Structure 1
């Protein structure tokens, strides 16, 4: 039977669409009721696969290899290093003398590292005191007074008074007598109460001294050392006279324990007393028989 009219047109359109769907890769569901009734069918296109979730366990992220060449590593420029700090400069050491050394000794007394009175001469006691002060504060214990040690000591002490500097009556050495400017001389000044050990006009060492009393004065003038006695004991007064260097009769330059203990409160029987035992020991080792002794005021 031949179908004419509108149904025939619909069937023709459906046939054409079905053919197109087949060519497009689509399938017609046979159970679709519209197909049975000759109505246009619904075409179900295949769904695109859903993108794989990222960041989930069990999945491996897809990495795209880089096509760019590896970047060259440029070494960092060397960082300039600061030059090492220069070592501390030594200001005074064993054998130094002068007002600066006297101030050093007075300041060491303030912090309890030196018990002896200032003498102005950097001897073994001062060296030992400086070494102890340095070691206590973590500084190299050299015994030499350098800039770092001096700044640390200044920060811990006050400026010494005149009494602290010239404890027990010591005074700065006076200008040497003109008779002391040549040769090897024990140049002794009664006014400043000091003894200079001089060689060819140069002061090698300076020590504080005291003299005889009113009734037993120390002679003045130019003399020579005629005898040295390391462990001498006075036969007249039965008193010890260590490091004795005789210059006139029974008068000598020697160490006095009484002078070290009482200072200028006492006096000698005409001798020149020295209170710095280390200083007189050093002097005794250098002075020779025949060296000149000049005593003036």
Structure 2
């Protein structure tokens, strides 16, 4: 009996040891093992990202179509001094006399040359050769071939013979009235709110008294004023830079002959049109281009 009791006690001790080892294995992690706690809340549900919509591209404005020759002619039909590209009619038999009796015959001959319908000399006399050239130009531009440069023909002729238009500074196309003189091409461009209104043939100062380049504003207006420096009359004078300005000249008959003392010389009739168009309104002036 004593021996059996000792064997039973040993068996119970072995079972307790095995149970202790099992409990230790459940509660103590082995080296390198991670303890993962049970989740307390479910993971958030991820909603799909919205597909980005492409930014709509602005619809480009259609480029305006260039007017046809007949459309230009129709627009020019009722031209007046207050409308674009005005000149008084120039007729067969007329001539440019002195500076106070200019009929724009020379200008017509220059422009007919640029239109490649006239190969004669610029004489200032409206003879048969000039009349033939006018008729040719009229026939090519949807105008009645009268042989006279009436106001309608003038408006079309001026528009067809604008030179070096791409060289005009951007500032000339701003708001309001803007007179832009290109010294190199002897042209004075008048803009109104960015729209080309007229183009006149002019001349500037001599090499020693050049018309100053830059951007200016007309500071005064005089229908007639005598220069305090040179004692000469200036018609429809509009100064913009010291003593320099633009005015009708009592000496100019051909824009490519002679020079001024620094002012922009215009035909008296053209200076009057500019003066009246911009009366009581701000007028900006830009002078640019190489001296000629």
Normalising by structure 1, we get a TM-score of 0.47
**Which protein is bigger by CA-based radius of gyration?**
1
Normalising by structure 2, we get a TM-score of 0.48
